[in-house]
Amino acid sequence: MDISQYKIENEPFYDAQSNEVELYEAAYSARLPVMVKGPTGCGKSRFVEHMAWKLGKPIITVSCNEDITASDLVGRYLLDANGTRWVDGPLTLAARYGAICYLDEIVEARQDTMVVIHALTDHRRELSLDKKGELIKAHPDFQLVISYNPGYQSLMKDLKQSTKQRFCALDFDYATAEKESHILQQEGKVDAETATKLVKIGEAARNLKGHGLDEGISTRLMVYAATLINQGIAPVEACKMALVRPITDDADIRETLDNAIEMIIG
Amino acid sequence: MNEAMFAEYQEKFTCKFPKAVELFPDLLNDAVSKLSPQGVEAYLEGANFLCKIGQGVEPVLVYMEVMPDIAAHFGQGTNKMIADYGYQLARSPNKKALIPFLSTLGHVCRRIDKIEDLELYLQIIDEYVDKTQTVIHGHHSVHESPGMVALLESMPQLISKLCLKGIQNFIHYGASNYANSPNDQIAYFKLESHDAKSIITRERQGTTFKDVARHLEMLKDCMWDCDLPFQTFATAFDQLRKPVPYLDETIIAVPDVYENENGISGLNRYRATLAHMMAHQRWSTKLMADNFAPHIQLFISVFEDSRVEYLAIQKYPGLKALFLSLHPYPEKGACNDKEFSCLRYRATRLSRALLDENFDSENPLIEEFRQKFHAVMSEKGEDSTTRDMAELGSLFYVKSRKQSSDSMPKMFFDDTEVSYRDDNRFIWFHYEEYDEPDEIMPNEYEPEEKIIEDPNSLPPRHYDEWDYISESYRPDWATVYERLHPSADAGYIDYLMAKHDNLAKRLKKMIEALKPQNKKRIRFQEEGDELDLDIAIRSIIDFKSGQVPDPRINTSHTTDSRNIAVMLLVDTSQSLNERNPDTGQTLLELSQEALAITAWTVDQLGDKFSIAGFSSDTRHEVRYQHIKGYSENYCDEVKARISAMEASYSTRMGAAMRHAAHYLDAQQAEKKLMLVLTDGEPADIDVKDPQMLIEDTRKAVEELKGQGIYSYCITLDPDADEYVETIFDNHYTVIDHVDKLPEQLPQVFMKLTQ
Ligand SMILES: Nc1ncnc2c1ncn2[C@@H]1O[C@H](COP(=O)(O)OP(=O)(O)OP(=O)(O)O)[C@@H](O)[C@H]1O
Ligand SMILES: [Mg+2]
């Protein structure tokens, strides 16, 4: 098994929001599990990638969803010519060979699934493969990182306290106007003026949060809009396509945002 | 007109009433100047005819005064047409309407264009008469139409607001809804009743605030992050002083309707008005009004309006085109300062110049101040102040003052009103304000609603009500006041729960069965989370024996998910105080128990859930009490509210359901359910016809269905079947033994949501 295929070669661009880079480094050097919290598309995944690159460690990412089960994380038996064969899951791989394991959108997974990480995230740092009858001691480089969007909290979807309380947490939010504009210039390759306007649209939409919108427009969508503009699409069109249509089916909200866009772009 | 001609016409005028003879020369002069010779003859024939119908001189004179203009526009045939119509009126029970008819005809004709429209107008009046004059059987006599005079007297107002089709609808509504109450009918046609105003608003062309309220509400949040509420004022009834939008510390006041202006839609006018006021709200500070003469205030206002718009445009460049399209463009030289005071004209030209860089003011002073203004703005930007504008305004006025003109008594008004701007009360404060605040706020701005001074209440909302007899909605008929339900001891609810311990245990089992965490095993999966040993072994055997093995050797689990939003609407009318003679419990107490248990059940299930109580005391006061919101957990506060429930007043169910529906509508859920818990039929003390509110509620259920909301009724009235089926079709449960309610309500709920 060559774990180095999970290493990140080129520096992923990341514009720090505050001192999260130092905080993460400290957590990693003590191998503390980390939870990154924040709304969708605010740069959580990008940050973790960036840190893996910075620390020179391989990273294995798992996007969680409702159907993910413990065996998707740990591993399972498959059938081959000689009968059944055990295949390590991503969590096992990371623990065995020493990678950062990043469980993205962890609330999406059912609560009982998450119990498998418990022994890995306390002083034991071990993972038991019940079906295989093996107990893995985690590699010294191994670290578990999860991401979590508190906005989604509902009665049905929340982390158990016993899960939450195994992590130290970094709180993210959409970057400040100035930073966000810088990100758009870097990632979407648009000029400063366009970037600033896009940021303003984002701000306008975030004001509607709770008044019909569950979440505001993410940095990710703004990067999309910038990219479309960079492709030569008229800005108003690009914004409607990337910023409005994806986030709402409500006609009034759509009309409101469309109008705000027209007013901002001018 | 020479004397011979005059003599000839005089001879043809056979009417000998002294007053008519006296005024004849003037009237004739006017007619001759507007009509052809044949036209004049037709005109005189009409007058002669009216002279003989036995109604005295008055109709003749009014006819002679209005007809020249009308006949000039619509053709000489109208002389006979109107005279004949007048005769017909004079012979009818409505003869009192003759003068009002003739004297308002000029107003009407100025608003219409074709002869067909004039014919339609007469036909509309006839329709009204047909509908309303009462025939007393056996007496062969007919009584007058009660609202006829009022209607015709209101015609100038109506025609200035509505097209003929709109007037026809307006009349139709009044005639059918007040067929049996002449006084109400008269009030309606005098435009005094609330309904008259609502109907006019409904029939008006243009955009009503109601239509775009949600959009504007969101625009305000999203572009301006402002949480002041809107309030509308009526525009249809102020002829003399048109009310203007305004902003103060507590509300944003906008007109109830905006018609199109310069090809700009009503919606865009609202947007412009909102943007302008929001700009004040963000960037304006206050000036002491007493420090500036009124004329100077005018110019300060212009500079300040321009400043906040400049900043708004900087933030939202798209606003510029919008403002420009609505801002008047006073032409050069339009105001003659020998005749008029050109104060406002000058102010508006200045304002245009500050907004529009392509506007050529051709006036060195305006140019000078345009530069000064832009210098301040580009230097200071958002740091510029209302004070800066006070300086510019004062200076401009002093330099531009022309004693001769500004003090002329007649003010030049054409093209000087910037319709999207507010009255700027926001930037002025008055020294006297501390003693007599009432003086400052003119009465015309008094909101129509009575405001309930309760921090827990929301502004009232109006809902249409269905009138099954006329098969139309009565617009804005019911007023719903929403407030937070008072609280009592939450412990009482825990006590009730403890009492139903056994029931809770049984329910718990049912809940487990419904819970989404409940897993189902699916076998025969190629990929799954567990190896299905039986199948796997079979596959291996197949494989070893040279056959193609079945690769589907895993099992997996799925969960069946629920995505339901529920609204539980509880009747809290007086009748719930009735006591069950056997158990001594009131229906209200039973409802409380049932609510407590149901709330607990739904909470366990994790569905989106809210509770409200309702009662009513006439259509003017439908009370809607918030008990639990979607975002609240079933916590002690909610329990405390349930425990404080009290029963009083009546049951205006339709309005309450419509109000509750607007919350349910805002929920994101696959299924939306409105459970209505009640003990009797919809009724209220101001409605005599028992079918009326039943039919309205039926209509409400239909509307809700259209919004994807499923309504279901749980009734405690054992005799409910007839009406409850009319309303809810078969979506209802009658609880025969009311003491079973606590048990049945949660079960009904679970059955519905399985
Ligand atoms: N601080 C940042 N520096 C650089 N790029 C950023 C930053 N924040 C956001 N981005 C941009 O936003 C995009 C979305 O970020 P990312 O995928 O990390 O979001 P996320 O928070 O993980 O969202 P989700 O919760 O939906 O997974 C990135 O691809 C990147 O283009
Ligand atoms: Mg992510």
Q: Whose CA is nearest to atom 4 of ligand 1?
A: A14
Least confident of B24-28, B340-344, B407-411, B588-592: B407-411
Q: Are B598 and B745 in contact (CB under 8 A)?
A: yes
Amino acid sitting at position B392: L
So where are chain A's domains? 3-171, 177-265
Q: What is the pLDDT of residues B650-689, one digit of tens each?
A: 999 999 999 999 999 888 887 888 999 998 889 998 888 8
Task: Name the band, by pLDDT with cuts 50, 70 and 90, for residue B544.
Answer: confident
β-bridge pairing B519-525 and B554-559 = antiparallel
Residue B531 CB contacts under 8 Å (≥ 6 apart), including other chains: A76, A77, A84, A131, B553, B554
Task: Return all residues near A116 (Cβ < 8 A) that are at least 6 apart.
Answer: A70, A73, A74, A91, A127
Measured in degrees and rounded to the nearest 5, phi and psi for residue B133 equal -75, 130
CA-wise closest residue to B664 among B603, B722, B611, B717: B611
Which comes out higher in pLDDT, residue A166 or B548?
Answer: A166
> Backbone phi, then psi, for A123, in 5-degree steps?
-55, -20
Q: Percent of chain B scored above 90 by pLDDT?
A: 41
Confidence band (pLDDT; 50, 70, 90) for B341?
Answer: confident
**Residue-level pLDDT at B556:** 81
Q: 3-class SS at B284?
A: coil
Q: Count Cβ–Cβ pairs < 8 Å, chain A vs chain B.
A: 82
Distance A220 CA to ligand 2 centre (A): 9
Put simply, the answer to whether B318 touches A204 (Cβ < 8 Å) is no
Is residue B750 a contact partner of residue B601, using CB atoms and an 8 Å limit?
Answer: yes
Query: Is residue B239 scored above 60 in pLDDT?
Result: no
Q: Determine the atom of ligand 1 nearest the C-alpha atom of A219.
A: 12
**Taking 70 as the threshold, does the pLDDT of residue B437 lie above it?**
no
Say what the alpha-carbon torsion angle A223, A225, A230, A233 is, to the nearest 10 degrees: 170
Q: What is the mean pLDDT of residues B140-144?
A: 71
For ligand 1, say whether the CB of A58 is within 6 Å of any of its atoms.
Answer: no
Tokens 């056994």, residue located: B502
Query: Is the CB of A37 within 6 Å of ligand 1?
Result: no
Query: What's the CA gap between B258 and B266, in Å, rounded?
Result: 5
Q: Sheet containing B230-233: which strands, arranged edge to edge? A: B230-233, B252-255, B246-247
> How crowded is the C-beta side of A72, counted as CA atoms within 13 Å?
18
Give the residues across from B189 on adjacent strands: none
Higher confidence at residue A110 or residue A94? Answer: A94
Q: What is the pLDDT of residue B569?
A: 94
What is the rounded average pLDDT of the residues B184-199?
Answer: 88
Alpha carbon of A17 to ligand 2 centroid (Å): 16
Those residues with Cβ within 8 angstroms of residue A155's Cβ, 6 or more apart along the chain or in another chain: B606
- Residue A152 in this model has a pLDDT that exceeds 80: no
* Cα angle B169-B170-B172, degrees, rounded to a multiple of 5: 60
Residue B135 clears pLDDT 80, i.e. is over it: no
pLDDT at B59: 93
**Helix H or strand E segment including B478:** strand B472-484
Which tokens go with B290?
A: 């007493």
Which ligand minimizes its atom distance to the CA of A44? 1
Instruction: Name the closest residue on chain B to residue A206, using Cα atoms.
Output: B222
Residue B559 pairs with which residues in a beta bridge?
A: B519
* CA-based nearest residue to A136, from A144, A126, A145: A126
Maximal C-alpha separation, chain B: 132
- Report chain B's mean pLDDT, rounded to a whole number: 86
Measured by CA distance, the residue closest to atom 7 of ligand 1 is A43
B467 bridge partner residues: B472
**Cβ–Cβ < 8 Å for B750, B741:** no
**Is any ligand 1 atom within 6 A of the Cβ of residue A51?**
no
Q: What are the pLDDT digits (tens) for A47-100?
A: 999 999 999 999 999 998 877 878 889 988 777 777 778 889 999 999 999 999
Residue B730 scores a pLDDT above 80: no
Cα distance between residue B717 and residue B173, in whole Å: 35
pLDDT higher than 50, residue B194: yes
The domain defined by A3-171 folds into Rossmann fold (3.40.50)
Residue B604: closest CA among chain A residues belongs to which residue?
A155
Ligand 1 centre from A44 Cα, in Å? 6
Q: Is B73 exposed, middle or buried (0-12, 13-18, 19+ CB in 10 A)?
A: middle
Question: Do B219 and A256 lie within an 8 Å CB cutoff?
Answer: yes
Structure-block tokens of residue B215:
């959009």
pLDDT, mean of residues B535-556 = 79
| Ligand that lies nearest to the alpha carbon of residue A186, given by its number in the listed order | 1
DSSP per-residue letters across A147-178: EE-GGG--SSS---HHHHTT-EEEE--PPPHH
Q: Which domains does chain B have, with CATH numbers?
A: 3-203 (no CATH), 207-429 (no CATH), 491-513+562-753 (3.40.50.410), 527-559 (no CATH)
Ligand 1 centre from A40 Cα, in Å? 8
Res A25: pLDDT:
96
- Residue with the smallest CA separation from ligand 1 atom 9 is A43
Tell me the C-alpha to C-alpha distance, in Å, between residue B253 and each of A105, B229, B233, B436, B454: 45, 9, 7, 22, 21
Is it the case that residue B348 has pLDDT exceeding 90?
yes
Nearest to B82 by CA among B116, B110, B51, B122: B122
Q: Using a CB-CB distance cutoff of 8 angstroms, which residues of chain A are in contact with residue B319?
A: 263
For residue B732, what are its two tokens? 């209802």
pLDDT value at B45 more than 90 = yes
pLDDT by residue (tens digit) across A212-261? 676 789 999 999 999 999 999 999 999 999 999 998 877 888 999 999 99
What pLDDT was estimated at residue A46?
Answer: 95
**pTM (two decimals):** 0.58
For residue B239, the 8-state DSSP code is: S
CA atoms within 13 A on the CB side of A133: 0
Return the pLDDT at B517. Answer: 54
Between B431 and B137, whose confidence is greater? Answer: B431
- Chain A residues with CB within 8 Å of chain B CB: 66-67, 69-72, 76-77, 79, 83-84, 110, 131, 154-156, 200, 204-205, 207-208, 211-212, 214, 252-253, 255-257, 259-260, 262-266
**Distance of alpha carbon B566 from alpha carbon B675, whole angstroms:** 7
CA nearest neighbour of B146 among B173, B128, B160, B158:
B128
Mean pLDDT of chain A: 89
Average pLDDT over residues B76-85: 93
pLDDT tens-digit map of A116-150: 899 999 889 999 988 788 999 999 999 999 998 87
Residue A61's DSSP bridge partners are A102
> In the prediction, which pLDDT does B72 show?
92
What secondary structure does DSSP assign to B186-232, as a single string? Answer: HHHHTT-SHHHHHHHHHHSSSEEHHHHHHHHHHHHHHHH---PPEEE
Say if residues A134 and A100 touch (Cβ distance below 8 Å).
no
Ligand 1 atom closest to A12 (CA): 4
Choose the weakest-confidence range: B69-83, B427-441, B514-528, B702-716. Answer: B427-441
Answer for the pair B373, B393: CB distance below 8 angstroms, yes or no. no
The confidence score (pLDDT) of residue B536 equals 83
Q: Residue A120: CB within 6 Å of ligand 1?
A: no
Q: Do B666 and A212 touch (CB under 8 A)?
A: yes
Q: Residue A154: pLDDT band by 50, 70, 90 thresholds? A: very low
Please answer yes or no on whether B225 and A79 come within 8 Å at the CB atom.
Answer: no
For the segment B146-155, what is each residue's pLDDT rounded down to a tens digit?
Answer: 899 999 999 9
Q: Mapping DSSP to helix (H, G, I), strand (E, B) and coil, where does residue A214 land?
A: coil
pLDDT at B35: 92
pLDDT beyond 80 at B754 = no
Percent of chain A clearing pLDDT 90 (strictly above): 64
What does B7-40 look like in DSSP terms, one character per residue? HHHHHH-----HHHHHHHHHHHHHHHHHS-HHHH
The interface predicted TM-score (ipTM) is 0.75
B659 vs B1: which has the higher pLDDT: B659
What angle do the packed helices B209-224 and A251-265 form, to 10 degrees?
A: 50
Q: What values do phi and psi take at B618, rounded to 5?
A: 70, 170
Instruction: Compute how many other C-beta atoms are within 10 angstroms of the C-beta atom of residue B46.
Output: 24
Beta strands (DSSP E) in B75-205 are 135-136, 141-142
pLDDT at A51: 97
Question: Cβ(A181) to ligand 1 under 6 A?
Answer: no
Per-residue model confidence as pLDDT tens digits over B385-394: 999 999 999 9
Residue B434 has pLDDT above 60, yes or no: no
Q: Which whole-number Å values give the CA distances from B418 to B232, B274, B348, B352, in the listed order?
A: 19, 14, 8, 10
Closest CA to B275 of A262, A94, A28, A24: A262
Measured CA to CA, the distance from residue A33 to residue A39 in angstroms comes to: 20
**pLDDT tier for residue B439 given thresholds of 50, 70 and 90:** very low
Highest mean predicted confidence (pLDDT) among A24-38, A76-90, A156-170:
A24-38
Cα(first)–Cα(last) distance of chain A, in Å? 56
Q: How far apart are CA B579 and CA B569, in angstroms?
A: 21
Quote the longest CA-to-CA distance of chain A: 68
Asked whether the CA dihedral B533, B534, B540, B544 is positive or negative, the reply is positive
Average pLDDT over residues B284-290: 91
Q: What does the angle CA B391 – CA B397 – CA B398 come to, to the nearest 5 degrees?
A: 90
